[in-house]
Each structure stands twice: as C-alpha cells, then as structure tokens.
Amino acid sequence: MSKVNKQSLWTSIKSKYSIYFVLIVLFLVCWLANENFVSVENIKNISTQISVGTILAFGQTILIISGMLDLSSASVLALAGVLSVSVYKMTGSLLLAFVAAILVGVICNILNGLMVTRFKTPPFIATLAMMTIARGAALMYTNGQNIYQIGAYIKFGQGRILGMPTPVIFMVTLLVLTWYLLRHTVFGRSIYAIGGNEEAANASGINVNRIKMQAFIINGIFVGIAGVLFMSRVNGGMPNGAVGYEFKALTAAVIGGTSFSGGIGTASGTLAGAFIVGFLDNIMVLVGVNSYLQQIVRGAIIALAVIYDIWAKTKRTKRKLGSAEAK
Amino acid sequence: MKKWLVIALIVSMMASLLTGCSQPAPAAAPAEPAAAPTAAAEQKEYRVAYIARAQADSFAAWLANAVKEEAAKYDNIKLDVFDGQANDDTENGLIENAITNKYDVIIVQPNNGEAQRPYVEKAVAAGIKVITTNARISGIPGSSSVDADPYMQAKVNCDLAVSQVPQNAKVVVLMGPPGNFHADARRESWKKEFFEKRPDVKIVGEEIANWNKDEAMNYMETWVQANDKIDAIIAMNDNMAAGALEVIKDNPKFKNTLAYGVDGTAEACLLIEKGLMTSTSLQSAYDLATSLLDTTNKLVTGAEKEINMDIDCPLITKDNVQKYIEMHKKAGAIQ
C-alpha cells in the first residue's frame, strides 16, 4: 500500500471514529488523573449512573435522526415511574408494574406522535406540551409527595445479574436493539431517509407518518423502562424526579454525533457521548474539583469534543470532494 | 304510549326509592343548631391567598397540603392556593394578582426572598396583611412571618455529631442549591457548630446535590470508590442523606457510617428506625401550617398587628423516632 493510501485510510478512520478517539483520550487522561478511576467497580458505577439517561438518549437518537426530538421524556419517565410504583404497591406484581410503565410511556408518545403526524405540530412544541402535562399528572396523582416503602421493586434498578448491575444490562440490551433497528431494518433505513430529506422519502413511497409514529412508540417503550429503573434506583416513587434528564439525553446523543438537522447518528455514538459525560462527572468528583468549576469544565469539554468531531468530519467531506473534483 | 307509561312508572319508582333512601340522612346528621348557619352568614369570611414556592417541590407540596387542611378548620377563612412554579417572575405575578384581587391576607413562601421583597412591600403598602414563610423575608415593617430557623435545624444535629463523630474522621458533605437561604444557613451552621469545633475531621468530598436523592446517590457512589472509610454523611436535607445511604446500605465496610439530615421526612424516620440514619431535625409542615393559620386568624381579627415566630426544630433520633413515624402514618405518607 502506498504512503498516500495509508495516510488516506488513517484520515478516514480518524474522522469516522473521531468521537471514540475523544472517549479513549478522555479515559486515558482520567486514568492518569486518579488511580481510583480504573477499577472494575468504578466503571460499573459510571455505567449504572449513565444508564437511565442513556436509555432515554437511544430514544432521542432515533427521533433526532428522523428530524424530531422529545422534550417530554423526563416528565413521562416520572409519570410512568410513579404509576408503575403505584401499580406494584397495589398488586405486588413486578411484571404488571413493568408493563404499566411501558404502557404509560407508549400512550404519552402516541399522543406526541398524533400531535406531530395528524395535526402537524412541530415536535418541539408537541413534546413541550407533553412535558408539562405529564409532570403535572405525576404531581397530581401523588399530590406532590414521594411514594415510599416500595419493597422488591428496587430489584429492577439495584439488582445484579452475574455481578453486572441490572440498569447496565438494560442499557446494553437497548443499545443492541437500537443498533439493530437503525442498521438492519426497513424502519431504520426509513428513519435515516426521512431525516435526510422528508419530501424525497415521501416521494420514494415511505409512509412518513407511520414511521414517525413508530419512532415515538419505540421512544415510549424506552422512556417507560427508564422510568422503572429510575424509581427503583432511588427506592421511591418520585413525581419530581429526573428533572433535566431530557437534556442529559439530548447532550449524549448530540455529543455522540447525532445531527439536529436529521439523517445522521448512531446508537454506539450516543453511548460514547453518554460515557464522555459520565467519565467527566466521575473524574471531577474523584479529583475533588470545585462544584462551580465542574460546570464550567463540563461545558467546555463538551464543546471541545463536538468541535473536534465536526472538524474531523468536515475534513473528511472536503477530502472526498477534493478527490472527486480531481477525477 | 305504553312504552312511555312504563318509563314514567320506572322513573317514579326510582324517585320514590331515592327519596326513601335519603330519608334517614337528616336524622343521622348531627343536630346542628338552627342558628349556626345564620351565625356563619353573619361572620365575615376572610380571603387568604397562599402562594407556594413550587408544588413540584415535595416539602412545598407537603406544606401547601397541610395549610389547606388547617384552613378547613377555620369557618372565617377561605383559602386559595397558587403555584409559584419555582420561578421568581411567576411568583411575583401571583403576588401582584393577589393585591389586585384584594385578598385580606397573602401568605408567601418565597422562591427567592430578595426577588419577592419589593412585591411583598407593595402588598403591605396596599394595606394587605402579608405573612412570609419558609423562608421569611425579614425587615419589612407591617409584615409577619412564620418560619423554622435553618441554622438551628442544623445545629441540633451538629451538637450530637460533635460528640458522636470519631477522632480524625473522614466525612462527606451534600449541599443544597447555592444561594438558597435554608441551604446556605444550614451549611454555615455545620461550619461553625461542628467543623470549627472538630478541626480533626477531614472533608473528603463536598458536592451540590440540589436537595435531590439521585444526585446524592451518584456522588456517594464515586466517593465510595475513592475512600475506604467514610465516617459520616453530612447532608443539608434528608433526601440527600437518604440517597447517600441507598449506596452503602448493604456494604459492610460502611455499616458504622453516621448520617445526618434535616426535615424529618417519612423516609428519614424509617431509616432512623432501621438504624441506617443517625439523626435529623423536624421541619414540620403541620406545625408551620398550624402557626400560619393561627397567625392569619389573629391578624384578621385584629388580635395582633404583627407576628414573627419560629416553630421548634426537635431532633429525631432512634430514641424518639416512633412518635414521628406515627405522625407520618396518620398523614398517610407511610403505612
């Protein structure tokens, strides 16, 4: 292989996998910064801590790729979670509680989907409305109070299977599911097509409204599962829990390379984005960085990571265009 | 025609049945003196606006519910509850609306005392009686206040911790939102009443967990990785203490870890009962509500012109926790 080809292959790999380079570099920096960072338990902890936000982020990734987003995910999570806890307390059945959370997530997202597809409401507004409605419903149902003494419900979020925390198992399973849906199904290809150019997708025979509704339903299932894990992890039904998690999810997706203009994004990129934020939060607490400074550092590193990722991708595009012109 | 006749017959039967069913009611009802409604009609009804900081905040919701229950005991008070939605603009707007609607009393639970101060002053200038609570806005002549002293709430825990926390202990501190009056005063109390008296104690982690259980959990999970020993968890509220305890509850390495909070929530009482949490101090929404309505009544009836008072902040430990568990059971917070 000639020197030029080798260089071109290296540049291609570097630009395609730029976000993973950022993640690896950050991992090495954290390793050097504190000896406690690289331990099996700490990595498990970080994975557990990011799991709820990352599950929401997988749903967001699917929606953002198709040119939509969900601002209501954290509020629906709270509603699904408190109702699920409540179902468990009434029936004593973990299965029913789990199903109830998913049902609530799906119903709220069907409403989101109807607003977007039937009434042509912009997803930002439709899900903003649902954000307020779901949070209000959760608070109204519980009268603003937390539900305690949830017994065996904590198994969902605090259990371990073969030493692996259950939230991490859920996260990995949903990662594989999202990856499969996006890469290996007609639904996935339609999602990318709609996000890339909705009119062209429509003209090519894709039922845009049906695919958008399906995307919301899948998001609803993920939100419901996240609701169960969150409430179980905090050992209570908390109607005001998970405030701001929709932005955590959006941040992970966007850092992971999902483009707000639609048509671009991967499940593994989102996971990498979530780990970048998770590593940062963890190392700053381990090293004892001042709380206020943490927010500045977090913001700055997120901006740098995304700038590097965009720069690397633009370089690749320019190189491709350059070689095309040369031909 | 026949059909209509049948329907008419059924309706009349139903009506007679319902009348028959409802007949015992007046007899079963307590024999109210006939004069009572007349007296109630003669008694002036005072309109009270309760402006809550945020119904989404669990303590604020508990307080709003307690105030509603307490107000129902007063025949001369009609209470309307408004939600400030943790937003200064919204809360200020609600105070202005209450002035325009000529409420007799406005009770304000500020989102940020200084932001609401000019609006409270405006209400006082309009001749409306204003009570500020949780936290009070002090220094407004003509306004009243009912509060719990956040410094004292932390101090009762500090007094216990000074003798309980072992020598050269390693502790972690969980703080409330910066700039929050109660969060800052409680932290100041721990500084003066504990850390200055125990210079041997080392803080191995201190973070802002914004009163939240999940944020406290995340911090504690990380601290546990970096420290073989954490002798005490010092939290500015019970929610955060409970979050930290959630992480170490099954870890034998931390079975002797002490944990202090503030609020006296149902969850904290259960943790103290189990021996997982050491102590908390009660900020009772019921006591606040009782004092708020009592103050309201005294102000509207002219018994007093201005009242400024603090409710007690009793320390809850394993020795007296049963009393408070019963209190929460009665309120339906726990079974």
- Kindly list the residues from chain B whose CB atom is less than 8 angstroms away from the CB atom of residue A146: 58, 265, 267
The band of B40, judged by pLDDT with boundaries at 50, 70 and 90, is: very low
Report how far residue A248's alpha carbon sits from residue A250's, in angstroms, rounded to the nearest whole number. 6
A112's CB contacts (< 8 A; 6+ apart) are A70, A72, A123, A126, A127, A130, A216
Three-state DSSP at B281 gives: strand
Are B64 and A235 inside 8 Å of each other by CB?
no
- Kindly list the residues from chain A whose CB atom is less than 8 angstroms away from the CB atom of residue B333: 145, 148
A113 exposed, middle or buried (CB, 10 Å; 0-12, 13-18, 19+)? buried
The band of B23, judged by pLDDT with boundaries at 50, 70 and 90, is: very low
Please name the amino acid found at residue B185: A
For B143-198, write each residue's pLDDT tens digit. Answer: 999 998 899 999 999 999 999 999 999 999 999 988 778 899 999 999 999 999 99
Q: At B260, which CATH number?
A: 3.40.50.2300
Same domain, B225 and B198: yes
Same domain, B113 and B216: no
Same domain, B161 and B110: no
Report how far residue A200's alpha carbon sits from residue B183's, in angstroms, rounded to the nearest whole number. 55
B34 within some domain: no
pLDDT at A295: 86
Same domain, B136 and B179: no
Tell me which residues of chain A have a C-beta less than 8 Å from any C-beta of chain B. 34, 36, 39, 41-42, 45, 48-49, 135, 139, 143-146, 148-149, 158, 230, 233-236, 238-243, 281-282, 285-286, 288, 291-292
For B213-238, write each residue's pLDDT tens digit. Answer: 999 999 999 999 999 999 999 999 99
Q: Kind and range of the H or E element at B280?
A: strand B280-281
Handedness of CA B312, B317, B322, B325 (dihedral sign): positive
**Degrees, nearest 5: CA angle A149-A153-A155:** 125
Tokens linked to A215: 């995307």
Domain count, chain A: 1
Same domain, B74 and B220: no
Nearest CA distance, A92 vs chain B (angstrom): 15
Same domain, B238 and B267: yes
Chain B residue at shortest CA distance from A145 = B58
B102 within some domain: yes
Strands (E), B40-169: 46-52, 77-83, 105-108, 129-133, 144-147
Compute CA distances B322 → A221, B66, B272, B273, B328, whole Å: 42, 21, 10, 8, 10
B243's CB contacts (< 8 A; 6+ apart) are A234, B174, B209, B212, B213, B214, B215, B216, B217, B220
Do the Cβ atoms of A248 and A58 come closer than 8 Å?
Answer: no
Print pLDDT tens along chain A (327 aa): 566 677 777 777 766 788 898 899 999 999 999 988 999 989 999 999 999 999 999 999 999 999 999 999 999 999 999 999 999 999 999 999 999 999 999 999 999 999 999 999 999 999 999 999 999 999 999 988 889 889 999 999 999 999 899 999 999 999 999 999 999 999 999 999 999 999 999 999 999 999 999 999 999 999 999 999 999 999 999 998 898 899 999 999 999 989 888 899 999 999 999 999 999 999 999 988 888 888 898 888 878 877 877 787 776 666 666 666 555
Same domain, B157 and B270: yes
A 10 A CB-CB count for A121 gives 16
Report how far residue A295's alpha carbon sits from residue A302's, in angstroms, rounded to the nearest whole number. 11
Instruction: Assess whether pLDDT exceeds 70 at residue B17.
Output: no
B10 within some domain: no
B323 within some domain: no
- Kindly list the residues from chain A whose CB atom is less than 8 angstroms away from the CB atom of residue B57: 144, 240
The band of B10, judged by pLDDT with boundaries at 50, 70 and 90, is: very low
Strands (E), chain A: 160-161, 164-165
- Which ipTM was obtained for this model? 0.81
For B84-133, write each residue's pLDDT tens digit. Answer: 888 888 899 999 999 999 999 999 999 888 889 999 999 999 999 999 99
Select from A233, A239, A285 the Cβ nearest to the Cβ of B222: A285
Tokens linked to A38: 């690289």
Are B61 and A139 inside 8 Å of each other by CB?
yes
Report how far residue B167's alpha carbon sits from residue A101's, in angstroms, rounded to the nearest whole number. 48
- Kindly list the residues from chain B whose CB atom is less than 8 angstroms away from the CB atom of residue A239: 56
Same domain, B170 and B267: yes
Tokens linked to A5: 């080809």
Are A234 and B333 inside 8 Å of each other by CB?
no
Domain count, chain B: 2
Do the Cβ atoms of B87 and B53 come closer than 8 Å?
Answer: no
pLDDT at B296: 96
B5 within some domain: no
A vs B: CB pairs below 8 A: 86
Compute CA distances A10 → A16, A168, A264, whole Å: 10, 33, 22
DSSP, res B303: S
Select from B206, B222, B266 the Cβ nearest to the Cβ of A282: B222
Q: Shortest CA distance to A53 belongs to which of A213, A255, A286, A211? A: A255
Domain that holds residue B74: 44-147+285-304
Report how far residue B335's alpha carbon sits from residue B325's, in angstroms, rounded to the nearest whole number. 9
Instruction: Assess whether pLDDT exceeds 50 at residue B28.
Output: no
A189's CB contacts (< 8 A; 6+ apart) are none
Stated pTM of the model: 0.82
Contact residues, B window 46-65, toward A, CB-based 8 Å cutoff: 55-58, 60-62, 64-65
Do the Cβ atoms of A230 and A54 come closer than 8 Å?
Answer: no
A14 within some domain: no
Do the Cβ atoms of B210 and B178 come closer than 8 Å?
Answer: no
Please give the distance of CA A117 from its chain centroid, rounded to a whole number: 23
Q: Which residue has the tokens 């025609």?
A: B1
Report how far residue B26's alpha carbon sits from residue B15's, in angstroms, rounded to the nearest whole number. 18
A175 within some domain: yes
Handedness of CA A96, A102, A103, A105 (dihedral sign): positive
Do the Cβ atoms of B52 and B82 come closer than 8 Å?
Answer: yes
Report how far residue B194's alpha carbon sits from residue B164's, in angstroms, rounded to the nearest whole number. 11
Same domain, B135 and B236: no
A52 within some domain: yes
Q: At A186, which CATH number?
A: 1.10.3470.10
Do the Cβ atoms of B134 and B119 come closer than 8 Å?
Answer: no
Do the Cβ atoms of B148 and B90 come closer than 8 Å?
Answer: no
pLDDT at A291: 84
- Kindly list the residues from chain B whose CB atom is less than 8 angstroms away from the CB atom of residue A281: 218
B319 within some domain: no
Chain B residue at shortest CA distance from A238 = B58
A 10 A CB-CB count for A151 gives 12
Do the Cβ atoms of A15 and A315 come closer than 8 Å?
Answer: yes
Same domain, B180 and B91: no
Mutate to test the interface with A, among B63, B90, B221, B238 (most CBs of A within 10 A): B221
Same domain, B162 and B142: no
Chain B residue at shortest CA distance from A291 = B207
Long-range contacts from A183-189, C-beta under 8 angstroms, 24+ separation? A187/A211, A187/A214
pLDDT at A144: 83
Backbone angles phi, psi at B276, to 5 degrees: -85, -35
Same domain, B266 and B291: no
For B280-335, write each residue's pLDDT tens digit. Answer: 999 889 999 999 999 999 999 999 999 999 999 999 999 999 999 998 888 777 87
Three-state DSSP at A11 gives: helix
Are A148 and B270 inside 8 Å of each other by CB?
yes
Report how far residue B50's alpha carbon sits from residue B242's, in angstroms, rounded to the nearest whole number. 30
Domain that holds residue A241: 40-310
Q: Kind and range of the H or E element at B174?
A: strand B170-175
Do the Cβ atoms of B140 and B222 come closer than 8 Å?
Answer: no
For B253-265, write each residue's pLDDT tens digit. Answer: 999 999 999 999 9
Handedness of CA B311, B316, B320, B321 (dihedral sign): positive
Q: Which residue has the tokens 């639904």?
A: A187
Handedness of CA A199, A202, A206, A210 (dihedral sign): positive
